[in-house]
Structure 1
Amino acid sequence: MTTRESGRLKDASARRILDDSARRRRARKALEALEQDNFHDDPHANLVMSKKAPKFEESLDGTRHKDRKRKTRSTEYFKQRFRKNFPILLEEEQALYPEGPNYLTVQAPPSKLPERHLCAVCGFPAPYTCIPCGARYCSTKCLSTHEDTRCLKWTA
């Protein structure tokens, strides 16, 4: 007589299990990748408008609305506004409020309540932990999504 095995438990023994320091390194690498991915130049900055393209201030009958005033800003304004990343914003805030509370000087005391464990996929309360990577999940559906798309997929 043969005993039945769980497919999930059999696969778990073949996977790599990370310790706490490897999990922290993995999380730090993911955050650095997000920070690099977040800052980029405007892909539409060098587009030249065609003369045949419709003007948005024209109505369907071809007349323009002259009674509306539009505020115009130069392209330089938008270049400067959207070029700031997080470290630049922190420096500006430090320069504006050197003695007052700012992002770097404000601290909250540690919470007296226990840490909340939330699902890495959907955000609901998560009683279960992924064995290889330590991420939390709440259901088998979220576990399968985590294994398909997140669990140790994007690390070197």
Structure 2
Amino acid sequence: MTTRESGRLKDGSQRRILDEAARRRRARKALEALEQDNFHDDPHANLVMSKKAPKFEESLDSNKNKDRKRRTRSSEYFKQRFRKNFPILLEEEQALCPDGPNYLTVQAPPSKLPERQLCAVCGFPAPYTCIPCGARYCSIKCLGTHQDTRCLKWTA
């Protein structure tokens, strides 16, 4: 009679186990990489709509009256034309109230409740921890996804 054993523990000697400092470094580097990936201007900001394309907010009756009236620019036009990116908005806020609380200086006190432990794969509450990397997971399915795609892929 053969004994059953877990498939995930077969290569236990080959897996690295990270200490808490290495886990924090790994998480910080992953967040920095995400921030670098997410920081860009809107790629669709310079697209110009064709004049022949129908506008959904207009009805057929308004098209008849449109030829008679003088065309005015809508507020949406100016919102798109004079659009500001995040760094410009931060500079303007800093200039308007340098002493008061602003985006860069506002802080909330630390929570009195314990930190929530959420699944690294799906975001649900996670009672289990991956032994090698310390990531949280909530089910066997999420553990499989984590091991296939995330576990120790981007180590510090």
Match for residue 137 of structure 2?
137
User: Does the CA contact (< 8 Å) of 1:59 and 1:65 recur in 2?
Assistant: no
The aligned residue for residue 26 of structure 1 is: 26
Higher relative contact order (Cα pairs below 8 Å, separated by 6+ residues):
2
Partner SS state of residue 82, structure 2? helix
Query: Structure 2, unaligned stretches of length 5 or more?
Result: none
In structure 2, relative to structure 1, the CA distance for the partners of 1:107 and 1:8 (3 Å cut) is same
Structure 1 unaligned blocks of 5 or more: none
Is 1:9 aligned with 2:19? no
3-state SS in 2 of match to 1:14 = coil
CA–CA separation in structure 1 for the residues paired with 2:108 and 2:59: 54
Structure 2 matches for 1:35-46, cutoff 5 A? Answer: 35-44=35-44
> Deviation of residue 130 (structure 1)?
0.6
RMSD: 3.4
Q: Compared with structure 1, are the counterparts of its residues 39 and 65 closer, same or farther at alpha carbon in structure 2 (3 Å cutoff)?
A: farther
Instruction: Please give the TM-score of this superposition, normalised by the length of structure 1.
Output: 0.70
- Per-residue CA shift, 1:67-120, capped at 9, x if unaligned? 796333286512xx1x324xx655543333332233444343333333321212
Flag the 1:84–1:109 CA change in 2: closer, same or farther, 3 A: closer
CA distance in 2, matches of 1:94, 1:50: 38
Aligned to 2:82: 77
**Aligned counterparts of 1:120 and 1:65: Cα–Cα separation in 2:** 56
Q: Secondary structure at the match of 1:73?
A: helix
Secondary structure in structure 2 of the residue aligned to 1:124? coil
1:114-125 equivalence runs, <5 A: 114-125=114-125
144-153 or 26-35, larger mean C-alpha shift: 144-153
Post-superposition Cα deviations, 1:48-81, rounded to whole Å, max 9, x if no partner, equal 6667x535377679x4562796333286512xx1
Deviations 1:99-148 (A, max 9, x none): 22334443433333333212122222211101111011111111112222
* Alignment check: 8 A CA contact 2:26 2:154 kept: no
